[in-house]
Chains A and B, each alone.
Chain A
Amino acid sequence: MNGIMEVLTTKIPLGEGVAWLVDTLTTRFSAQFRFVSDMLEGGIQALTWCLSALHPLVFIALCTALAWFIRKSKGVALACALGFLLLLNLGLWESMVQTLALIIAATLLSLTLGIPMGILNAHSRTAYFVTRPLLDLMQTIPAFVYLIPALMFFGLGEVPGVFATVVFAMPPVIRLTCLGIQQVPTERLEAGRAFGANWWQMLLKIEIPSAMPSILMGVNQTIMMALSMVVIAALIGAEGLGASVMRALAVVDVGMGFESGLGIVVLAMLLDRIVRPEKTPDGSS
């Protein structure tokens, strides 16, 4: 009995393995990581520069117009204008722009990786089988666990923040894309095939449009998840609303902490209302 327990409690070197892997990656592939890091860094900076180049009022006007264009709702457009004015009033404009750039970068990255992954998962049982536990891991493992390796790979700043955000925010879009495509009615797929569609035509003309409500829901979720990561990203040097919260916490300034926190909430609500799947014509949202 004792012998069995001894064998069972002899620790598998899991942690050591991961540490070794991270070590090896950082030393052997530092040039590659540096390259990716620089690329991302450049992208985010360019984005931030573009967003902050606009006068706040022009920016607000554009966003309001966009909200109106997408939602066709006076309420949403008005809320958009008021929300951004509030952020401007609270002096959070610059932080908001930085956060927005981070979110846009993380979301774009999540979508370009996540949508094809979702499509692959919907079509391949093997891929689905392999990806599912990975997605569970990405969504549930505490962010701090991969923040440290991210720091080691990419150094301080926005890039590890984007990396951490992508890890956390990509699963919903993969899951929802996969779900949407799996739920396309069989008859609709048969219709495509019966009229002679090839693989690409099936994907582009039947599957993706049919799964669009679900995919948009995934995009929405990704944005929301990305926003919830901004505070954590601030821990490793990402600027923005998260950093404001951190600074307020450091000096126990309750009022400023609340204002910055409220800024995140307002931004989250605005993005959610603007980028939200519409009710589809067939009623299946």
Chain B
Amino acid sequence: MNQGTDATAEKLCCRDVWKIFGKLPGGALGQLRNAPQRQHEIQTLPGCTVAVREADFSVREGELFVIMGLSGSGKSTLMRCLNGLIRPTWGEVFVDGRSLQAISAKQLRRLRQEKMAMVFQHFALLPHRTILDNVALGLELQGVSKKRRRAKALEALELVGLQGWERNHPVELSGGMQQRVGLARALAVDPQILLMDEPFSALDPLIRRQMQDEFLKLAAKVKKTIVFITHDLDEAIRLADRIAMMKDGRIVQMGTPEQIVLEPENDYVEEFVASVSRAKVITARHVMADPRPWTSRREEDPLAVLDRMKKEDLQCVFITDTDRRLLGVLTREEAARKIRGGSAPAGCNGVPAIGPDAPLSEVVEQAASSIHPTPVLDGRGRILGVVTRKRLLQEWKQDLEG
């Protein structure tokens, strides 16, 4: 989604972050840190749990970064390192280039108040407060005046579609609504970074899906840097700009959803994504064929075009201008008729086409409704490729086998 934003600033950054729970005799960890074979030795530390190993990544401004892993993979611990709720054993976390390890407790609290907000799996609302006061919690902790925090909290409630509920208590709301309150509470402080710890995992599948859709819309609107934790690969693929896959505390692969699904780098990821339908990440771009055999310039001799169609067994060609912009489609019969009539093949308008990022479901829908192959056009109407039924079926077969 945001592939073009490589140049923007790094908002959050982890440098060689480790978190080891448990006690070791004094100084043992310090010695290990510099040991050349620490990877190996740490595997066998007695009485310790290594929750996060060597986490090294950065999140760009405005990015939706998903940390994905099963329970116990260390993703929650890693997230809590990002806002200092958990102090890493080694390594540093930078927020806007400032190391969390180098600032005072007071500065850290300030940073949490102003820059980052968190959304929790089980909502973590305060049952004794009204919805409005729950949403205003962050502002209250900042010391914002009652009038202003009321106004801002109402604004945040409206953003998540819960206006009119501000006087109720959390227990009166459904799970989905409670999580919206959690989201509103995070948005009310207008943070630059949102940390979301499995926010939709506790919801029913149907509600979850709906929340994901709404969340995507909201995320596009509020433009925050978002770190999102999930154990659900489908959710990760739907939401993420980039995914970091975690296993046993280690990030085993990091990349766009397409990269994760189509180019798994190791057995674990491969096994994990095997169950995912490739259709979820495949777009028209992945299945389109080279358009050259299928196109013909407007100026081309109709006889030559018809000849080529017969030779290559094409039912139709797409007529383009000199800039490869699609003008129309010309079937074999039309071409023959036009030659008999003596006019040049002009092609007809209104050819159904799709964009290169259209998901496979859309491509299939389009292909099913048209007898012609489906042209893939870029933003300026130039033909990038052609999706034939044969290609679609091949893709489907691969998916079934995959």
A132 to B168, CA, bound (A): 40
Nearest opposing residue in chain A for B116, CB measure: A194
Chain A interface residue count, CB cutoff 8 Å, equals 22
A195 to B110, CA, bound (A): 9
A188 to B118, CA, bound (A): 11
Q: Mark B122-156, 1 if CB is under 8 A from A, else 0.
A: 11101111000000011011100000000000000
- Residues on the A chain within 8 Å of B124, using CB: 185, 187-188, 190-191
Interchain CB contact (< 8 A) of A195 among B113, B122, B170? B113
User: How many A-B residue contacts, CB cutoff 8 Å?
Assistant: 76
Interchain CB contact (< 8 A) of A209 among B85, B112, B128, B185? B128
- Residues on the A chain within 8 Å of B121, using CB: 187
| Distance of A152 from chain B, by nearest CB (Å) | 45
Flag whether A255 is at the interface (Cβ < 8 A): no
Flag whether B68 is at the interface (Cβ < 8 A): no
A272 to B162, CA, bound (A): 39
Q: Are A195 and B128 in contact (CB under 8 A)?
A: no
Flag whether B78 is at the interface (Cβ < 8 A): no
Q: Are B140 and A196 in contact (CB under 8 A)?
A: no
Greatest chain A CB density within 10 A among B122, B124, B169, B185 is at B124
Question: Within residues 66 to 80 of chain B, which ones have a CB less than 8 A from any CB in chain A?
Answer: 80
Flag whether A193 is at the interface (Cβ < 8 A): yes
| Distance of B42 from chain A, by nearest CB (Å) | 26
- Residues on the B chain within 8 Å of A198, using CB: 109
- Residues on the B chain within 8 Å of A282, using CB: 127, 170-171
A195 to B126, CA, bound (A): 13
Given the known inter-chain contacts A194-B195, A282-B170, please indicate yes or no for A188 contacting B126, CB distance below 8 A.
yes
Q: Mark A151-189, 1 if CB is under 8 A from B, else 0.
A: 000000000000000000000000000000000010110
Q: Are B138 and A190 in contact (CB under 8 A)?
A: no
Flag whether B189 is at the interface (Cβ < 8 A): yes
- Residues on the B chain within 8 Å of A210, using CB: 126-128
Flag whether B117 is at the interface (Cβ < 8 A): yes
Nearest opposing residue in chain B for A189, CB measure: B124
Q: Are B140 and A191 in contact (CB under 8 A)?
A: no
Flag whether B120 is at the interface (Cβ < 8 A): yes
Nearest opposing residue in chain A for B83, CB measure: A194
- Residues on the A chain within 8 Å of B127, using CB: 210, 280-282
| Distance of A89 from chain B, by nearest CB (Å) | 41
Q: Mark B182-200, 1 if CB is under 8 A from A, else 0.
A: 0001000100000100000
A195 to B171, CA, bound (A): 22
Q: Are B126 and A209 in contact (CB under 8 A)?
A: yes
- Residues on the A chain within 8 Å of B170, using CB: 281-282
- Residues on the A chain within 8 Å of B142, using CB: 196
- Residues on the A chain within 8 Å of B138, using CB: 195-196
A187 to B185, CA, bound (A): 14
Nearest opposing residue in chain A for B114, CB measure: A196
Flag whether A133 is at the interface (Cβ < 8 A): no
Flag whether A206 is at the interface (Cβ < 8 A): yes
Flag whether A61 is at the interface (Cβ < 8 A): no
Q: Are B141 and A197 in contact (CB under 8 A)?
A: yes
Given the known inter-chain contacts A281-B127, A282-B171, please indicate yes or no for A205 contacting B141, CB distance below 8 A.
yes
- Residues on the B chain within 8 Å of A280, using CB: 127-128
Flag whether A212 is at the interface (Cβ < 8 A): yes
A280 to B128, CA, bound (A): 8
| Distance of A193 from chain B, by nearest CB (Å) | 6
Q: Mark A193-223, 1 if CB is under 8 A from B, else 0.
A: 1111110010001100110100000000000
| Distance of A185 from chain B, by nearest CB (Å) | 7
- Residues on the B chain within 8 Å of A281, using CB: 127-128, 169-172
Nearest opposing residue in chain A for B129, CB measure: A209
| Distance of A168 from chain B, by nearest CB (Å) | 31
| Distance of B86 from chain A, by nearest CB (Å) | 10
Q: Are A195 and B120 in contact (CB under 8 A)?
A: no
Q: Are B128 and A193 in contact (CB under 8 A)?
A: no
Q: Are A194 and B117 in contact (CB under 8 A)?
A: yes
A283 to B128, CA, bound (A): 11
A210 to B124, CA, bound (A): 11
- Residues on the A chain within 8 Å of B129, using CB: 209
Q: Are B110 and A196 in contact (CB under 8 A)?
A: yes
Nearest opposing residue in chain B for A196, CB measure: B113
Q: Mark B209-241, 1 if CB is under 8 A from A, else 0.
A: 000000000000000000000000000000000
A190 to B112, CA, bound (A): 12
Nearest opposing residue in chain A for B188, CB measure: A195
- Residues on the B chain within 8 Å of A193, using CB: 85, 112
Q: Are A194 and B140 in contact (CB under 8 A)?
A: no
Q: Are B85 and A195 in contact (CB under 8 A)?
A: no
| Distance of B19 from chain A, by nearest CB (Å) | 15
- Residues on the A chain within 8 Å of B109, using CB: 196-198
- Residues on the A chain within 8 Å of B111, using CB: 196
* New A-B contacts (10) at CB < 8 Å, excluding given A192-B141, A194-B83, A196-B114: A187-B123, A191-B126, A193-B112, A195-B141, A196-B109, A196-B110, A209-B129, A210-B127, A210-B128, A282-B170
CB within 8 Å of A: which residues of B?
80, 83, 85, 109-114, 116-118, 120-124, 126-129, 137-138, 140-142, 169-172, 185, 189, 195
A-B contact pairs, 18 of them (CB 8 A): A185-B122, A185-B124, A190-B120, A193-B85, A194-B117, A195-B112, A195-B117, A195-B189, A196-B111, A196-B113, A196-B114, A210-B128, A280-B127, A281-B127, A281-B169, A281-B170, A282-B127, A283-B171
Nearest 10 CB-CB pairs, A to B?
A196-B113, A282-B127, A194-B118, A196-B112, A187-B124, A191-B124, A195-B138, A281-B171, A196-B109, A281-B169
